[in-house]
A and B are shown apart, each in its own frame.
Chain A
Amino acid sequence: MPEPPSADGLLTRIAERDASALAELYDLMAPGLLALAREILSSPKDAAAVVEDVFLWLFKEAPALRQHDASPDPIGASVAAWLTLSTRAAALGRRRAGGRVPRGHGLERLHRAAAWLPKSQAIRLLDERRELLKKVMRQLPEHQIEVLSLAVLEGCSETEIATRLSEPLGQVRTESRAALRFLRHRLRAVLGEWTANI
């Protein structure tokens, strides 16, 4: 799901309550977010409701995200990252609530996200190098991909993953941390200026 080239400008207009800017961003990003929500929720209707709620939430939160942009660094926070994290949290919240709209949508922690969201430039670079990064993902053992998949798309805790895979909790913890450490180091290489033998 690419960070739109015009994301910073769109976010400024959305913060000024420009509904047509919200529509532009929606046209660019809703297909990727709807795919994510459908991966998490079995009901297409629930998935559509989640994406709609997340865009409305952005409409409300955009001024706060823009406030972060007033920092000395002029490059804005990534809208794609915010929308992705928010859609995942909202879809998992709805999944846990059995299709009902959960209180707070499971998004509470993201209220503070403006302080630490990646820059749009970093997410754009990550999208540009997607093919290389897919190669990185394929370097992970199949088992670790399964652990990550259960955590990210089904919202399973490490304890729940251990039960689902009939494995000791300690092993799941080791696997999840090893997978995340590997991906973190590879992303540093791919996003950094130095090249690694990937």
Chain B
Amino acid sequence: MDCQHLDDLYELYLLGLGGPGGAAEIDAAEIDAHVERGCPYCRERLREATQVVYFITHNVRPMRPVRPSPEMRAELLRRARKLRSSD
């Protein structure tokens, strides 16, 4: 499958950067279709693009970790256990 014309678009696809009518929006459908068909090139490039997006997300602005409250943690575990008991 020839996907090299999509090379500049995988990060934009993950970020949803094209917007209505934008080039990336139109190509998103093509990338979706390639992934659905199991295209190895698109999968590999998406894997790499995810690393790029991960890096940008955590480094484009300085961010200091925020410790969640004990109540927040307790509520998450309460909901998780409820979910498990409803399986």
A residues with a Cβ closer than 8 A to B are 1, 17, 19, 22-23, 26-27, 30-32, 34-36, 38-39, 48, 51-52, 55-56, 59-60, 78, 80-81, 84-85, 88, 112-113, 115-119, 122-123, 126, 130, 133-134, 137, 145, 148-149, 151-153, 155, 157-160, 173, 176-177, 180-181, 183-184, 187-188, 191
* Residue B1 lies at the interface, judged by CB distance under 8 Å to chain A: no
Chain A residues near B46: list those with CB within 8 A: 116
Q: Which of B6-30 contact A (CB under 8 A)?
A: 8, 11-12, 14-24
Q: Which residue of A lies closest to B49 (CB)?
A: A184
Chain B residues near A59: list those with CB within 8 A: 80, 83-84
Interchain residue pairs with CB less than 8 A apart (7): A23-B76, A116-B42, A117-B50, A118-B54, A119-B47, A152-B53, A180-B52
Partner pick for A35 among B35, B48, B52, B63, CB 8 A cutoff: B63
- Given the known inter-chain contacts A84-B57, A85-B14, A152-B15, please indicate yes or no for A17 contacting B84, CB distance below 8 A: yes
Task: Report whether B8 and A177 are in contact in the complex, using a CB–CB cutoff of 8 Å.
Answer: yes
* Size class of the B contact interface (CB-based, 8 Å): 35 or more
- Given the known inter-chain contacts A26-B76, A38-B66, A85-B50, please indicate yes or no for A157 contacting B59, CB distance below 8 A: no
Partner pick for B56 among A55, A81, A148, CB 8 A cutoff: A148
Chain B residues near A51: list those with CB within 8 A: 68, 72
Chain B residues near A173: list those with CB within 8 A: 23
Task: Report whether A158 and B22 are in contact in the complex, using a CB–CB cutoff of 8 Å.
Answer: yes
Q: A117-B50, A137-B56 are in contact. List 6 more A-B contacts (CB 8 A).
A: A30-B73, A35-B63, A158-B17, A158-B18, A176-B12, A176-B17
How far is A22 from B65 in the complex, measured between Cα atoms in Å?
Answer: 19
Chain B residues near A130: list those with CB within 8 A: 59
Chain A residues near B2: list those with CB within 8 A: none
- Given the known inter-chain contacts A19-B81, A31-B65, A115-B43, please indicate yes or no for A52 contacting B50, CB distance below 8 A: no
How far is A88 from B54 in the complex, measured between Cα atoms in Å?
Answer: 10
Partner pick for B16 among A26, A30, A122, A155, CB 8 A cutoff: A155
B49 to chain A, nearest CB (A): 8
Task: Report whether A39 and B61 are in contact in the complex, using a CB–CB cutoff of 8 Å.
Answer: yes
